[in-house]
Amino acid sequence: LLSNVWGPAKARALEEAADLQDMAQSEGDNIEIAPWDWRYYSEKVRSAKHDLDEAEIKPYFQLDQMIEAAFYTATCLFGLTFKELKGQDVYHPDVRVFEVFDKNGDHLGIFIGDYFARASKRSGAWMSAFRSQQKLKGDVRPIIVNVMNFSKAPESEPTLLTFDDARTLFHEFGHGLHGLMSNVTHPLV
């Protein structure tokens, strides 16, 4: 696999490096692109080539639609289904709870989405487990939480995400799937 990927990946990296070098020179920067220059100039190249305005694409990344897209992806890839459980006793009113079923329709676990920033919450995004899956003490099913810090829209308006926010949601959901689909006897400590 690595041998098959290495050639095309190296060729693409060299193309990107050439684009960055051209950008630096076009701005009068008489440097040779170094690793620490990569992010700075790649953003300039991206902006010049694509001229993408985050505000224009945000309507395409509505939070509820991105959650549905993540669930749809899990259904297509693994046969999982998600059913929102309303009226649960949760630690904050914005928290959403979903029962997760495997491809056979059997209970797999609980997925909790805590999507919005608030004063009592640390910044960042992460996945955690209130309870990990294990079989040492019976068939213990996981309770997994994805925590984000998206800006909540005013009441009756959809919450819009940036492209980076949407990517973060999918990234953390991947960790959540790992926790939900765990199948071990001994829990991790």
What are the helix and strand counts (H, E) for the chain? 5, 5
How does pLDDT run across 125-165, given as a tens digit for each residue? 999 999 999 999 899 999 999 999 999 999 999 999 999 99
Please say whether the structural domain 58-180 has been given the CATH code 3.40.390.10.
yes
Question: Distances in Å between the alpha carbon of 38 and those of 19, 52, 164?
Answer: 10, 19, 18
pLDDT band at 54 (very low <50, low <70, confident <90, very high): confident
- The whole-number pLDDT of residue 81 equals 98
- The whole-number pLDDT of residue 165 equals 96
pLDDT band at 5 (very low <50, low <70, confident <90, very high): very high
Query: Catalytic residue among 27, 99, 157, 172, which?
Result: 172
- The whole-number pLDDT of residue 146 equals 98
Closest alpha carbon to 103 in 82, 85, 84, 81: 81
Phi, psi of 183 (to 5 degrees): -145, 75
Res 186 pLDDT > 90:
no
Kindly list the domain boundaries of the chain, sorted by start residue: 2-51, 58-180
**Which structure tokens are listed for 47?**
């902006």
- The whole-number pLDDT of residue 46 equals 86
How does pLDDT run across 10-45, given as a tens digit for each residue? 999 999 999 999 999 999 999 999 999 999 999 899
pTM score, two decimals? Answer: 0.76
- What 3-state class would DSSP assign to 183? coil
Q: Chain-wide mean pLDDT for the chain?
A: 94
CA distance 187 to 189: 6
How does pLDDT run across 74-128, given as a tens digit for each residue? 999 999 999 999 999 999 999 999 999 999 999 999 999 999 999 999 999 999 9
CA distance 155 to 13: 45
pLDDT band at 49 (very low <50, low <70, confident <90, very high): confident
Q: Quote the Cα angle for 63-78-148, to 5°.
A: 30
Res 57 pLDDT > 90:
no
Helix (H) or strand (E) holding 177: helix 163-180
Q: Is 32 part of the annotated catalytic residue set?
A: no
Res 47 pLDDT > 90:
no
